[in-house]
A and B are shown apart, each in its own frame.
Chain A
Amino acid sequence: MIDMLNYDFMQRALIAAVLVGITAPAVGVYLVQRRQALMGDGIGHVALTGVGLGFLFQTSPIWMAVVVCVLGAIVMELVRARGRQRGDIALAMLFYGGMACGKLLVSMSAQAGSGSLESYLWGSILTVSPSDLSTIAILGAVVIAITIGLRRQLFAICQDEEFARVTGIPVRVLNLLLAVTAAVTVTVAMRVVGLLLVSALMVVPVAAAQQLTRSFAATQAAAIALGITVAVAGVAGSYQADVPSGPAIVLLAIAIFAVFSAIAAPLARRRHRAAADHGPEICEVAIPAQDGGRPHGKPQDATREPAGGTDLHTTSANGAPKSDPIASTGLAQ
């Protein structure tokens, strides 16, 4: 197990895995918050055109992918901001056009065989070159600075864009910044996870984390911790079992999601019981006709929202008395 650290390529792959494990969920949490969970998938498709261009002109596919992804993400953001009903059609054109264009360009280039494209689609631990690693490190640092440093601003625009505008923060600029950051993250992650699975590492750790968390900040932190865990474990497993790293990482993440979902319900129930000072677990309202018997059906609503029922008609005249579960109990006895 430890001997894999003796290889330079494994050291690079593991460092890249840590960076990917941090950046993908750090951006993904905002996309999930805004219900744009599949945006990363779209950018991944578009990135293929960048990879194809890199092959064709024999330049760095990563930097070409950065350029193309950023342009694609800006187009996606503009389509989203317009809120057009046909926006999804426009996005479909972009995604499939990007993918088709990428494959076409790769096949036109003299350099690459199919194996090379394969490593971009599914991720590979063998292909993180020293220059790739420095690119990934620079881009990753930028992504981390933006997603952690501007957390309150980005949370505000993803949580309630209209309200954020009224706080005077530059909503349009921040929206574009988030889209560009997502695009950069895709290119950071594509060597390790692969373009087809990049979005999974943005979404699945967040989905898993939020099974157990209540706050946005905690969700982001837990998702990053999970991201690092599955990326490093996936790369290590990929070395051991000789499988592509992308699928190994994603299946691990989904396994963790399944476990967290399974333990979420019992945990929530215990938490609820701890905070059960809001009233008895079972109704105590007695209906006179039933002579103190435990009521069923409708009257339960009366206990849950005692405020409405009994005070309705006195309210508009002189202000409602404070709601009080005891009041409805008393009235019933």
Chain B
Amino acid sequence: MSSVIPDTAPTDSAGARHPVSADAAPAAVSLRDAVASLEGRPVLRGIDLVVRPGEVVALLGANGSGKSTTVKAVIGSVPLERGSHELFGKPYARFKDWHRIGYVPQRTTAAGGVPATVREVVSTGRLPQHRLLPFRRRDRDAVDRALDAVGMLDRAEDGVANLSGGQHQRVLIARALVGTPDLLIMDEPMAGVDMASQQILADTLRREVERGAAVLLVLHELGPLEPLIDRAVVLRDGCVSHDGPPPKDVGQHALPGHDHVHPHADDDHLHNTPRLLA
């Protein structure tokens, strides 16, 4: 199995889309030798992760390999015990340009205790722009554009609690896009998302990449996003086991330690329906 994925040492990205700008501008994300633990259990044991401007990097690995913790370390919600952490060339502690980052957390089914509309949730993505000032016309227009991009403008006044998994994911992505970020960070954007929404997400992401945004994606498997990905970083037990071109035709299933647990709630009926209709 280890022959499927070359166990090379971390290499510079061979397939970077924008080699010129990559040399000039500082990396959007730069984690060096990052060590972190959760409740005393070491989760990251010295991770190197670089995302250059305009680059699309997929973070792969089995459940529990540290993918989500790596992303949380990047946005600063899991503190590092050791290592350096820079965003757009600035040390994390001095980083202030949060409007350059759009974050899409892993979708949870837990809803808040009070109803909220799609528009209200997406509007929170505009906070870096209007800050303490009132929400103005241009903020509202930005929210409309982001909702339109994910095909949810017609549901803007609906409650988020009434959305399907895929629609909810599209709302979270609109929330991240509303400030036109230079770096998109997405944790399992395709998990539990129906096919129509997956396609909309892939299209949205392609437009963002064409616009020049860098993307850091945590993925369970490459799936429909595969053509967009410049580089894959594979984690294994809190260490980087591969950093280079995405493994071809290799999904999560071939990764070391894959346990064949599927987060897609819809899988059953996806597989069953064609037979039922045949």
Contact = CB atoms under 8 A, between A and B. Distances in A.
Interface of B: 72, 75-77, 96-99, 101, 103, 105, 112-117, 119-121, 123-125, 127-128, 130-132, 135, 157-159, 164, 166, 175, 185, 194-199, 202, 223-224, 266, 269-274, 276-277
A279 interface: no
Contacts of B117: 214-216
Nearest to A324: B196
| Chief secondary structure at chain B's binding surface | helix
Interface string A287-306: 10000000000110110010
Contacts of A164: 124, 127
A169 to B, nearest CB: 5
Nearest to B135: A152
A168 B128 contact: yes
Given A32-B114, A152-B123, A323-B196, A309 B274 contact: yes
Interface residues of A, number: 51
Given A152-B124, A159-B116, A320-B196, 15 more contacts: A32-B113, A33-B116, A156-B124, A163-B175, A167-B125, A168-B98, A168-B128, A206-B114, A213-B115, A216-B116, A298-B276, A305-B266, A308-B195, A309-B277, A311-B196
B158 A302 contact: no
Given A34-B113, A165-B77, A307-B195, A155 B120 contact: yes
A305 B164 contact: yes
A46 B269 CA distance: 53
B133 to A, nearest CB: 10
Contacts of A155: 116, 120, 124
B114 A29 contact: yes
A153 B273 contact: no
Contacts of B185: 166
Contacts of B269: 298, 301-302, 305, 308-309
Given A160-B105, A315-B224, A332 B277 contact: yes
B122 to A, nearest CB: 11
Contacts of A316: 223-224
Interface string A210-229: 10011111010000000000
A298 B270 CA distance: 12
B172 to A, nearest CB: 8
A313 B274 CA distance: 9
Given A155-B124, A164-B124, A312-B270, A331 B114 contact: no
A126 B120 CA distance: 42
Residue picked from A29, A308, A311, most chain B C-beta under 10 Å? A308
Nearest to A37: B113
A162 interface: yes
B199 A320 contact: yes
Interface in A160-192: 160, 162-169
Contacts of A206: 114
A100 B273 CA distance: 62
Residue picked from B96, B98, B127, B195, most chain A C-beta under 10 Å? B195
A253 interface: no
Nearest to A84: B39
A165 B124 contact: no
A158 interface: yes
A155 B75 CA distance: 20
20 contacts: A32-B114, A33-B114, A37-B113, A158-B112, A163-B103, A166-B101, A167-B125, A167-B128, A169-B127, A210-B114, A210-B115, A215-B120, A219-B115, A287-B277, A298-B276, A305-B194, A305-B266, A307-B196, A311-B196, A315-B198
Contact of A159 (B124, B270, B277): B124
Nearest to B270: A308
A86 interface: no
A155 B127 CA distance: 11
B273 A302 contact: yes
Nearest to B164: A305
A116 interface: no
Contacts of B157: 214-215
Please list the 4 inter-chain residue pairs (A to B) with the smallest Cβ-Cβ separation, ordered nearest first: A168-B98, A309-B273, A307-B196, A323-B196
Contacts of B158: 214
Contacts of A168: 96-99, 127-128
A223 to B, nearest CB: 9
A35 interface: yes
A45 to B, nearest CB: 21
A331 B113 contact: no
A219 B114 contact: yes
Nearest to B95: A168
A34 B277 contact: no
Contacts of A320: 195-196, 198-199
A206 B112 CA distance: 13
Nearest to A298: B276
A326 B194 CA distance: 18
A165 B125 CA distance: 11
Nearest to B120: A216
A217 B164 CA distance: 23
